[in-house]
Structure 1
Amino acid sequence: MIEKFFDTCIYAARWLLAPLYLGLSLILLAVLIKFFQDVWLLYSHLLEMPERDLILHILGMVDLVLVSGLALMVMFSGYENFVSRLEVGEVEREKLAWLGKMDADSLKAKLATSIVAISSIHLLRVFMNASNTPDDKIMWYVIVHLTFVVSAVGMAVQDRLLGRSKKQQSVIIHER
């Protein structure tokens, strides 16, 4: 009786995550507002803007889009993996192809890839503005970026090794 009560309470506690995922949607709204503020700024100064500044501005906007995709991925897959299935419309074509298929391992791989992409764009912006950035600061940007790259590669290698291990265990189990 007590065990059943605790099991029910612990299982229901997953709903405490739901407001966090809702909060991510509010973050998307903030990024959307910032993005269109940048579009307005870009077009209002486009004719007098040097090409280098235009490219830096565009890279910043691409960075915002990648961060938005990252937040969306975490929001959807986290909600589906830890809280509840998303029921989206009756029309199957409205559903995202990856929705409901991304487990924690594939989410981890996509997050690592996204973080490396975001870091790459940020590093490109730093290099394009290198004349205004101290060398020691550039060095730290490169070190942080390489740390992200090495971590992503390490996770990919680990997943590959564990994937083979799981397949080998599956073969052994099926042989019995």
Structure 2
Amino acid sequence: MKRLESKFEHILFSSRWLMAPVYFGLVLALIVLLVKFGKEVFYLFDHIMTATGGEMIIGVLSLVDIALIMNLLVIIMFSGYENFVSKMEDLHSHQDRPDWMGHIGFSDLKIKLIGSIVAISGIELLKAFMNVDNLTDRHLAWMVGIHITFLASGVLYALMDKISYKSH
């Protein structure tokens, strides 16, 4: 029976590698976002003489939005892989290795995730207010409500994390 239990635990432990394709899928998502970023930059330069100031600001905010999402994906890929699949031991001495790699735990990852979602939501809300004439009051109210919900969730996550940290 002990041998069966040991075999089961080995299979269970090895199953973490099923997550590896998910992280590779996030790499593909980065490529898609990079293409979208390039398209947005091209659009901005193509309309540099005809776009209004508000349109340019919305365009730049879109670039910031994409950059935040890409940064978030990198954090999720690296920390998720290192926390749940395998350590990147061969990269510890690499000169370009980010300082945060290997130090972001699951709790830190949740806080960074909700912080990024709040920032992205705030940018979308700012873009909506820059284009307020084309939106209904109901649409704006939903956007504000969703942003406030994300903001409150972020504060609650941070409080739970602080309470959890104090209890340890």
Same fold (TM over 0.5): yes
1:8 paired with 2:10, answer yes
Distance apart, 1:86 and its partner CA: 1.6
Distance apart, 1:92 and its partner CA: 3.7
Aligned-pair identity in percent equals 39
Alignment partners' CA distance in 1, 2:63 and 2:134: 20
Aligned equivalent of 2:43: 41
Aligned equivalent of 1:86: 88
Alignment partners' CA distance in 1, 2:43 and 2:167: 53
Aligned equivalent of 1:136: 138
1:32 paired with 2:31, answer no
CA contact (8 A) 1:88 1:95 kept: no
CA contact (8 A) 1:28 1:71 kept: yes
Aligned equivalent of 1:113: 115
SS at match of 1:96: coil
Distance apart, 1:91 and its partner CA: 4.1
Distance apart, 1:45 and its partner CA: 1.1
Q: 2:58 aligns with which of 46, 56, 59?
A: 56
Aligned equivalent of 1:76: 78
Distance apart, 1:93 and its partner CA: 2.3
Aligned equivalent of 2:22: 20
1:127 paired with 2:117, answer no
Unaligned runs of 5+ residues in structure 2 are none
Alignment partners' CA distance in 2, 1:10 and 1:89: 26
Alignment partners' CA distance in 2, 1:122 and 1:115: 10
Give the residue type in structure 2 aligned to 1:79.
Y
**What TM-score do you get using the length of structure 1 for normalisation?**
0.91
In angstroms, what is the RMSD of aligned CA positions?
Answer: 1.1
Listed one character per residue, the Cα deviations across residues 120-158 of structure 1 (whole Å, up to 9, x for unaligned) are 001000111111000000000000000000000001111
Give the residue type in structure 2 aligned to 1:146.
I
Aligned equivalent of 1:66: 68
Distance apart, 1:116 and its partner CA: 0.5
Unaligned runs of 5+ residues in structure 1 are 167-176
**What TM-score do you get using the length of structure 2 for normalisation?**
0.96
Alignment partners' CA distance in 2, 1:109 and 1:91: 27
- Higher alpha-carbon deviation: 87-96 or 42-51: 87-96
Aligned length: 166
